[in-house]
Structure 1
Amino acid sequence: MGQPCHVRRHGYRNRDRYNKQKKQKYAIATGKIVPEITVAVPQNPAAILHLYRERKDAPLHAIAAELWVGGKQVAKVEPVHCLGWTGSQAKQYSKNILQSFSAQLEDCLLERFESQVELNPSQCPIRPCPLHPGMG
């Protein structure tokens, strides 16, 4: 005989929780709430080349590079001045950077840079720098 009262008391005590579950199910069914899902992000390596020069056809001032795996930076080559370098010397240096990054990864061979970032030589962080006399 005490069973209906027990069920009702339980229902009254947990009314907030039940109503919240019902509202959530209704919102998902009507498309008002889109359930979030997680998808594994690939952890591919990416090498980024930083070129310090004013324009594409201007002489190269400095080179730097970064290696990223997923969203994390794992290696970095500090900027180096390229004053007096020929185009082939700059290309060879960038190839050497890729080889170093590949050795860092061990199981992956990087054949090219994922992207090239063009930076103005006025942003050159190297000191002393011929563009920033008196700041060395």
Structure 2
Amino acid sequence: MAKAIPEKCKKCAMLSAAQAQELHGKQGDGCWNPQVCYSRRSYARHRDRHNLIRSRKRNQASPELTVNLAEFTDIFWAVLVVYRRSGTDMPIHAIASEVWKGQEKFGAIPPIHCAGMTASQVHSYVQKMLVLLETNYKIKKFASQERLDPWLCPLRPCPCHPSFPS
């Protein structure tokens, strides 16, 4: 690893050569060395730009790797969509599922409100969704779970939607 530029030299690099010689030359602290200081000051001033150019050249030199996605386009997977406020003990407002084929949305199990359902009833409904997904698409479990705020619930009427009568 390269030795870091001393902080004193970084500050000196921001001065003009005349100011630097006056401050660090014979009348100053005596650290000015014409054999080293000119190139060190230039390096300190321009190192960010030189490093950026060098990095871009390295990135261009390495070939871009691609993965053949054709073999993954026929894979079905599902996402469990849970509408609930953020927090640890917040009740579930609604629950749904999305089915994906490759990188495109293929279908969905529409949401239902969970108001009045116990935790075991919600778990039972999720298991019924998994049975349906396994029989139709060979999906044994959800690939992920997505939490959305209840105000995004698409069901109407909905207690979280402003048009709900009070």
TM above 0.5: yes
SS at match of 1:90: helix
Is 1:120 aligned to residue 149 of structure 2? yes
Is 1:132 aligned to residue 161 of structure 2? yes
Displacement of 1:75: 2.0
Q: Which residue among 82, 89, 92 is the counterpart of 1:60? A: 92
For 1:94, the equivalent position in structure 2 comes to 126
Contact 1:47–1:98 at 8 Å: present in 2 too?
A: no
CA distance in 2, matches of 1:100, 1:88: 18
Q: State how many pairs are aligned.
A: 103
For 1:45, the equivalent position in structure 2 comes to 76
Larger Rg: 2
Displacement of 1:124: 1.1
For 1:18, the equivalent position in structure 2 comes to none
- Runs of 4 or more, structure 1, over 6 Å off, are none
SS at match of 2:82: strand
Structure 1: unaligned runs, 5 residues or longer: 1-30
* Between 126-135 and 83-92, the greater mean CA deviation after superposition: 126-135
Higher helix share: 2
Displacement of 1:35: 7.3
* Between 35-44 and 61-70, the greater mean CA deviation after superposition: 35-44
Higher relative contact order (CA 8 A, sep 6+): 1
Structure 2: unaligned runs, 5 residues or longer: 1-59
Displacement of 1:73: 2.0
Task: Give the TM-score of the pair, scaled to structure 1.
Answer: 0.65
